[in-house]
Amino acid sequence: MRIYDPNPATLRALQGTNIELMLDVPNSDLESLNDPTAARTWVQNNIRSYPGVKFRYIAVGNEVDPNSVISVNRDCVKFVLPAMQNVHQAIVDAGLADKIKVSTATYTGLLMKSYPPSDGVFQHNVNGFIGPIITFLAQNNLPMLANIYPYFPARKQDEVPLAYALFQPGPPVNDNGLVYSNLFDAILDAHYAAQARLGGENLEIVVSESGWPSCCDSIATLENAGTYYRNLIAHVKQARGTPARPGRSIEVYLFAMFDENLKDGDESEKHFGLFSPNQTPKYQVNF
């Protein structure tokens, strides 16, 4: 599972459960972790203090973007890489580098072009931000985390067939001989292509978020959301990789466990959960 800040009650509940965890450093904390001493303290307080938790990744920042309209996602651009470096060094010094991988969670909003997938490229003005991060991850054999949502292009672009976004049968997309039957694989391979242009040819991507809302527009319905989650799970379980990277398992985190009924912004943003806030399941899914 993934949690977006080191909540002590949640971490205590996870001890001894054998549930592997991705733990975020919130964007608002990135500046403080530019101090190596603060990073060591963060690792001591939130990682080493919970020896019974199986930490898998630390996501140092989520969707930090020089072009974001959300100030906390835009103003901390210069703090991401130093914070990653300091947290990674603290993990190394703690003797945990073989168990816990440090990264950051990016998203498709950083791409200037994602179609066809082989033409995937980052926006020019984010290269100076994401390029050094890619270099750092590649040098230390760490994965990139990426939030991937077929829902958003399907909602915004009439030319994206709904079936293509939902892993349903339909006309495939041919990209120089690589045949895509779903939008998820196409977006993921666009991220791989963009990374490769900045020296990240061998940089693995973990899909740190993917989901579909059950409300409140023409394609955000309970039926479509259930279809997406079930088909995404089935697709990943096949372990066939993507057209550009076949034969590999894809690691994916579903977003989210619960509807966020108190969240600000677009109404659909409140309805990505597999469960309602009262813990009632919205879909029948089988892992």
Residue 70 has pLDDT above 90, yes or no: no
If one counts every other C-beta atom within 10 angstroms of the C-beta of residue 238, the result is 9
| pLDDT band for position 95 (cuts 50, 70, 90) | very high
Which distant-in-sequence residues (6+ apart) come within 8 Å of 107 by Cβ? Answer: 63, 65, 146, 147, 148, 149, 209
253 backbone dihedrals φ, ψ, rounded to 5°: -110, 125
Residues facing residue 241 across a β-bridge: 246
pTM of the model as a whole: 0.96
| pLDDT band for position 260 (cuts 50, 70, 90) | very high
| pLDDT band for position 159 (cuts 50, 70, 90) | confident
Residues 86 and 36: beta-carbon distance below 8 Å: yes
| pLDDT band for position 158 (cuts 50, 70, 90) | confident
Q: Nearest Cα to 56, choosing from 101, 2, 104?
A: 101
| pLDDT band for position 71 (cuts 50, 70, 90) | confident
Which distant-in-sequence residues (6+ apart) come within 8 Å of 72 by Cβ? Answer: 27, 28
Asked if 63 is an active-site residue, the reply is yes
108 backbone dihedrals φ, ψ, rounded to 5°: -65, -20
What's the confidence (pLDDT) of residue 157? 77
Tokens (6 digits) for 40: 């060591």
Distance CA 53, CA 55 (A): 6
If one counts every other C-beta atom within 10 angstroms of the C-beta of residue 184, the result is 26
Task: Tokens 């309970």: give the residue.
Answer: 222
Residues 63, 204, 251, 269: which is the catalytic one? 63
Distance CA 121, CA 193 (A): 7
Distance CA 43, CA 64 (A): 21
Residues 20, 209, 251, 269: which is the catalytic one? 209
What's the confidence (pLDDT) of residue 155? 93
Residues 260 and 272: beta-carbon distance below 8 Å: yes
Mean per-residue pLDDT of the chain: 96
Rounded CA Rg of the chain: 19
